Amino acid sequence: MLKLENVQSGYGNILAVKGISLVVNQGEIITLIGANGAGKSTTLLTISGIVRCRSGKILLNNEEMHKMDTDTIVKKGVCQVPEGRHIFPQLTVKENLDMGAFLRNDTNQIKKDLDYVFSLFPILEERKHQYGGTLSGGEQQMLAMSRALMAKPDLLLLDEPSMGLAPLIIKQIFEIIKKINKESNTTIFLVEQNANQALQIADRGYVLENGKITISGSADSLLENQGVQKAYLGL
């Protein structure tokens, strides 16, 4: 579904992603793990076209995604939940969700998808008239994910959904990521510092160090890899 071939990108004269190649197959959960500043967010921003790919290729179903603008990428079914959530604080929960469906006009299906996100996150239905900015961190993460789901993506890019959340909420968020993947057949590319939780739900993973992929394999093999255990799992 998604293929990165030797992708480089960065900011000004800083190269943050230094020639990475990876593959995401339809229906998978893939995680990209790495330390602070490894280039994880830049990789996601490059896939979604916000940071431009400087060399190499990004292919979405064999189409050259690195040449597309950001709204074409969204229309092609790729949606990103950014680090820090970036919900609309002065819009209500329901209005935030309506914004997610902004590019759609299939009114009946939109209503069904709204019911679906409320079934995933019942707290959002309870709080649908509350302003986004007044939600807790965990609720804002739920809202950011739900807003992205309202665009009905085929590929969901999640940037550190666990950041700053309490362990119980993190557990809940990861369970729901798995549920979204299974129930709505959404392919998931998950960037995480929380390597243990991410690898528990992923099919495969890549380790990013200083802008380069150093280890890749099945999630189980990464959980058992001594280098990964030492550097990212605290074992």
List of residues contacting ligand ATP (CB under 6 A):
11, 14, 16, 34, 36-42, 83, 193
CB-CB contact of 200 with 168 (8 Å): no
Choice between 58 and 93, CB closer to ligand ATP: 58
Q: How far is the CB of 115 from ligand ATP (least distance, A)?
A: 34
Choice between 42 and 96, CB closer to ligand ATP: 42
Q: How far is the CB of 97 from ligand ATP (least distance, A)?
A: 26
Q: How far is the CB of 171 from ligand ATP (least distance, A)?
A: 20
> What does the alpha-carbon distance between residue 149 and residue 180 come to, in Å, rounded to a whole number?
9
Choice between 114 and 222, CB closer to ligand ATP: 222
Choice between 40 and 66, CB closer to ligand ATP: 40
| 3-state class (DSSP) for residue 181 | helix
| 3-state class (DSSP) for residue 50 | coil
Q: How far is the CB of 42 from ligand ATP (least distance, A)?
A: 3
Strands (E) in the chain, as ranges, are 2-11, 14-24, 29-33, 55-60, 63-64, 78-81, 155-159, 187-192, 204-209, 212-218
> What does the alpha-carbon distance between residue 159 and residue 199 come to, in Å, rounded to a whole number?
15
